[in-house]
C-alpha cells in the first residue's frame, strides 16, 4: 500500500442535487460490490433519520480503485444546518466534485460549500447533473457557476476548472453534451488528471495526522478519523497528541484501519495521503494532531462557524412525565448532550442560569440541526421539554451595536402565489435582492433575519398549496431589525385532566383547528388546538353529552369530526411561542404551556420575552 497512489475527494452540493446517488454509482463502478450483490439506493445514508428524511446528515467515508489508484470518497451533507460536517473534512481531501443540477443551477448552499473549498485552495471539478431533465439548461448553468466562482474570488487556476456532464442515477458522465457515454469513465479520468501524485517525500517526514471526524465502536471504543499529512502511522505506535487547548499527551494506537469499499479494514501501517481510522486514544477530539513523540508540530485548528440558534432542553415536568421514557432526569440529559458534543462540532451546550428550571441551553446551526438531535434522543428513550427556538444575537465589538444572523432565501413559486409570499416576507423585515419570472413561476431572492423564518415554512407550504420551493443559507450578521410579528392565532388550552371526547371536540371545532383526536389523554395546561382568534382560550375537551331518558329526533347522531392537525417535531418547534413548550417522549409529542394552571398563567401574563444579549 505504501507505493499505491492515493486520491482523496469529497462530493459537495446543495441538498437534492444527487450527491448520494453519484457516490452509489462511483462505488458500483469502482468495484466496491460483487456483481451479484444487491445494493440499496443511497447506501451511504445508513442512519435511520437519513433514510426517513431523504437527506444526508453525517459525512461518511468509503473508497474505490481505478486503474490501480485508490480513491477515498467523502459523502457530505447538502443541508445548510449540517454545514459543520462539510467544514471539518475539507482539509482531508485533494479536490471536490461540485455537483450542480442542470435545471436549478447553483443554489444558496452551493455557494457556502464552494467557498470553503476555494478558501483551502482546492481546485474543484464541476459536474452538471441530471442532464436528462426536460428543462435542463446546462450551458446557462455553467455560466452561472463561473459567475459564482468570480463572486467568491477564485484564483485563475481555480477558475480553469474541468467540467463533466452526467446523469448520476444512471451512472453516466460525459465530457460534452454532444458526446454520450455509457459509464463514469470521463469522471474517473478527470479526477486522476486533476489530482497529481501526493508528494512521496512527505512519507519520509515525521508523523502528522489531524482528526476530522469521530466515531464509536462498541468493541474497541472511541475512533478518530483523519488524514495522514506527513510521515507514517503504525499499529501499536506510541504517539504524541497535541490537543486543541495547546496541551500535549502521549497515547498508543492500538488499531489502525483504512477504508476499502464501505468497510474499514485493519492494516499494520499507513502512509502520508491516506485517510485512516485509529483507536486506543479514549479522549481524542476533532482537531487534535497526532505527532511523532520527538517532533510535536500541531496543525492549524479546524475552525467551525458559530451556532445561530438555541433551544432549551428541559426536564419534563408535565403530569405525564416518566410514564414512557427511560431517561428523564437532568443528569441523563447532561450525559447524553456531553456524548453528542464529542462528535457534533457544530453544537454547544450551556447550563441554564435559572434556578427555577432544570435543563440546558443547546446552541446549533438551525432548527433541523437541533431537531435531528432531539429526535435521536427521543428514539433512545429520553423524555424532555423543548422551548421555542431563539436566534443568537451578537454585539459589534467596536460599536456595541446588536447584530442578528441573516438568511439568504430563494423561493420559487407559481406566479399566482408570489404576491402573498412577497407581502409576508416584507412584513418579516425581509429585503428583496432579486426577482425573475418566466410567466408561470416566479423566482424571488430575499435577505431576511433568521428569526423571521421561524414558523414560516408551514405558512409557506399552505400559501403555495405545496407547490412552492424555498431554500435558505446563512448570510452573515446585520444590525438588529426590530420586533417582528409572531404567530397570529392564540391556542385552545385544556382546563381539565382526562380523555378527550368526540362530543366536546365537535363543539370546539367551531372555535379553531384541533390538535388532538377523541380518546386522547390530556392534562390541564396542554394545548389541544389553535384558536381562530388572537387570544388564548381555556376549554374543556373532556365534557360528555348529558344523558337523559328522552330521545329527540336529530340529536342522537354520531359526531363527525374534521381530521385533526398532527404536527411533526419541526412543525411543533416552529409553532410554539415563548410561553409554550414541546413535550417530547418516545411515543408522543405534545404542546403545552410553560405554566400549566390558569392562576400561574395570570401571574406571568405581563412577562415579556427576554432578548439574548
153 Cβ contact partners less than 8 Å away, ≥ 6 residues apart: 118
Give 385's pLDDT tier (boundaries 50, 70, 90). very high
In the prediction, which pLDDT does 48 show? 65
All three cell numbers of 90, joined, read 475539507
Given a cut of 90, is residue 382 above it in pLDDT? yes
- For 543, other C-beta atoms within 10 Å of its C-beta total 16
**Contact of 389 with 573, CB cutoff 8 Å:** yes
**Contact of 75 with 60, CB cutoff 8 Å:** yes
Distance CA 131, CA 595 (A): 56
**Contact of 162 with 133, CB cutoff 8 Å:** no
Angle at 299 between CA 84 and CA 226, to 5 degrees: 55
pLDDT tens profile 405-458: 888 888 889 999 999 999 999 999 999 998 988 888 898 999 999 888 887 887
329 Cβ contact partners less than 8 Å away, ≥ 6 residues apart: 315
**Contact of 384 with 316, CB cutoff 8 Å:** yes
- Domains of the chain and any CATH numbers: 6-194 (3.40.50.300), 200-291 (2.40.30.10), 394-479 (3.30.70.240), 491-547+556-603 (2.40.50.250)
Give 26's pLDDT tier (boundaries 50, 70, 90). confident
Strands 309-314 and 359-364, bridge-based pairing: antiparallel
All three cell numbers of 108, joined, read 444558496
19 is in an annotated binding site: yes
Expressed in percent and rounded to 5, the helix, strand and coil fractions of the chain are: 25, 30, 45
Instruction: Out of 56-65, 191-200, 592-601, give the one with best mean pLDDT.
Output: 592-601
**Contact of 18 with 169, CB cutoff 8 Å:** yes
pLDDT tens profile 27-40: 888 766 555 454 44
**Contact of 444 with 422, CB cutoff 8 Å:** yes
374 is in an annotated binding site: no
pLDDT tens profile 94-110: 888 999 999 888 877 77
344 is in an annotated binding site: no
Given a cut of 50, is residue 499 above it in pLDDT? yes
Given a cut of 50, is residue 610 above it in pLDDT? no
Give 363's pLDDT tier (boundaries 50, 70, 90). very high
**What is the SS3 string spanning 302-319?**
CCCCCCCEEEEEECCCCC
Task: Give exposure, 436-445, as e/b (b: 16+ Cβ within 10 Å).
Answer: eeeeebbebb
pLDDT greater at residue 271 or residue 14: 271
438 is in an annotated binding site: no
pTM comes to: 0.78
Chain centroid to Cα 469, Å, comes to 18
16 is in an annotated binding site: yes
Give 1's pLDDT tier (boundaries 50, 70, 90). very low
20 is in an annotated binding site: yes
Q: Is 540 exposed, middle or buried (0-12, 13-18, 19+ CB in 10 A)?
A: middle
Distance CA 431, CA 425 (A): 8
pLDDT tens profile 153-168: 888 888 999 999 999 8
Amino acid at each position: 500500500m505504501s507505493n499505491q497512489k492515493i486520491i482523496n475527494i469529497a462530493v459537495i452540493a446543495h441538498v437534492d442535487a444527487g450527491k448520494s446517488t453519484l457516490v452509489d454509482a462511483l462505488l458500483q463502478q469502482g468495484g466496491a460490490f460483487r456483481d451479484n450483490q444487491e445494493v440499496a439506493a443511497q447506501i451511504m445514508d445508513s442512519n435511520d433519520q437519513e433514510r426517513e428524511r431523504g437527506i444526508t446528515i453525517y459525512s461518511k467515508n468509503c473508497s474505490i480503485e481505478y486503474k490501480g489508484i485508490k480513491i477515498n470518497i467523502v459523502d457530505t451533507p447538502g443541508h445548510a444546518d449540517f454545514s459543520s460536517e462539510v467544514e471539518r473534512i475539507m482539509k482531508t481531501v485533494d479536490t471536490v466534485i461540485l455537483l450542480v443540477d442542470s435545471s436549478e443551477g447553483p443554489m444558496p448552499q452551493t455557494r457556502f460549500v464552494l467557498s470553503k473549498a476555494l478558501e483551502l485552495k482546492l481546485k474543484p471539478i464541476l459536474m452538471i447533473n441530471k442532464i436528462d431533465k426536460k428543462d435542463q439548461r446546462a450551458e446557462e448553468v455553467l455560466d452561472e457557476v463561473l459567475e459564482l466562482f468570480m463572486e467568491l474570488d477564485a484564483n485563475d487556476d481555480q477558475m480553469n476548472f474541468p467540467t463533466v456532464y452526467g446523469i448520476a442515477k444512471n451512472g453516466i458522465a460525459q465530457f460534452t453534451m454532444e458526446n454520450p457515454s455509457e459509464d463514469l469513465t470521463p469522471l474517473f479520468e478527470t479526477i486522476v488528471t486533476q489530482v497529481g501524485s501526493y508528494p512521496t517525500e512527505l512519507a519520509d517526514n515525521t508523523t502528522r495526522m489531524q482528526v476530522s471526524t469521530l466515531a464509536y465502536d462498541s468493541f474497541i471504543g472511541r475512533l478518530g478519523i483523519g488524514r495522514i499529512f506527513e510521515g507514517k502511522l503504525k499499529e501499536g505506535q506510541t504517539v504524541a497528541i497535541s490537543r486543541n487547548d495547546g496541551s500535549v499527551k502521549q497515547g498508543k494506537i492500538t488499531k489502525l484501519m483504512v477504508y476499502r469499499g464501505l468497510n474499514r479494514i485493519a492494516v499494520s501501517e499507513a502512509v502520508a495521503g491516506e485517510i485512516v481510522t485509529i483507536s486506543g486514544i479514549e479522549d481524542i477530539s476533532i482537531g487534535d494532531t497526532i505527532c511523532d513523540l520527538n517532533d510535536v508540530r500541531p496543525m492549524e485548528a479546524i475552525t467551525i462557524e458559530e451556532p445561530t440558534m438555541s433551544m432549551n432542553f428541559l426536564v419534563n415536568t408535565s403530569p405525564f412525565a416518566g410514564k414512557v421514557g427511560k431517561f428523564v432526569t437532568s443528569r441523563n440529559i447532561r450525559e447524553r448532550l456531553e456524548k453528542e458534543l464529542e462528535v457534533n462540532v457544530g453544537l454547544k451546550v450551556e447550563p441554564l442560569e435559572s434556578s427555577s428550571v432544570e435543563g440546558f441551553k443547546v446552541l446549533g446551526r438551525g432548527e433541523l440541526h437541533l431537531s435531528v438531535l432531539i429526535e435521536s434522543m427521543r428514539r433512545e428513550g429520553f423524555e424532555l421539554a423543548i422551548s421555542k427556538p431563539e436566534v443568537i444575537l451578537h454585539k459589534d465589538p467596536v460599536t456595541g451595536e446588536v447584530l442578528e444572523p441573516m438568511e439568504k432565501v430563494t423561493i420559487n413559486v407559481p406566479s399566482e402565489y408570489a404576491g402573498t409570499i412577497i407581502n409576508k416576507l416584507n412584513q418579516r423585515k425581509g429585503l428583496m435582492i432579486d426577482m425573475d419570472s418566466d410567466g408561470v413561476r416566479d423566482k424571488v431572492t430575499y435577505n431576511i433575519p433568521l428569526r423571521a423564518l421561524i414558523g414560516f415554512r408551514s405558512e409557506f407550504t399552505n400559501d403555495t398549496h405545496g407547490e412552492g420551493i424555498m431554500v435558505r443559507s446563512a448570510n452573515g450578521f446585520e444590525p438588529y431589525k426590530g420586533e417582528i410579528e409572531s404567530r397570529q392565532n392564540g391556542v385552545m388550552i385544556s382546563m381539565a385532566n382526562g380523555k378527550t371526547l368526540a362530543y366536546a371536540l365537535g363543539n370546539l371545532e367551531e372555535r379553531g383547528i384541533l390538535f388532538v383526536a377523541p380518546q386522547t389523554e390530556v392534562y390541564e395546561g396542554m394545548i389541544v388546538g389553535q384558536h381562530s382568534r388572537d387570544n388564548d382560550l381555556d376549554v374543556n375537551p373532556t365534557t360528555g353529552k348529558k344523558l337523559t331518558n328522552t330521545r329527540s329526533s336529530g340529536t342522537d347522531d354520531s359526531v363527525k369530526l374534521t381530521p385533526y392537525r398532527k404536527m411533526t417535531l419541526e412543525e411543533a418547534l416552529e409553532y410554539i411561542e415563548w410561553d409554550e413548550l414541546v413535550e417530547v417522549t418516545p411515543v408522543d409529542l405534545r404542546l403545552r404551556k410553560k405554566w400549566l394552571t390558569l392562576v400561574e398563567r395570570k401571574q406571568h401574563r405581563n412577562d415579556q420575552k427576554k432578548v439574548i444579549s
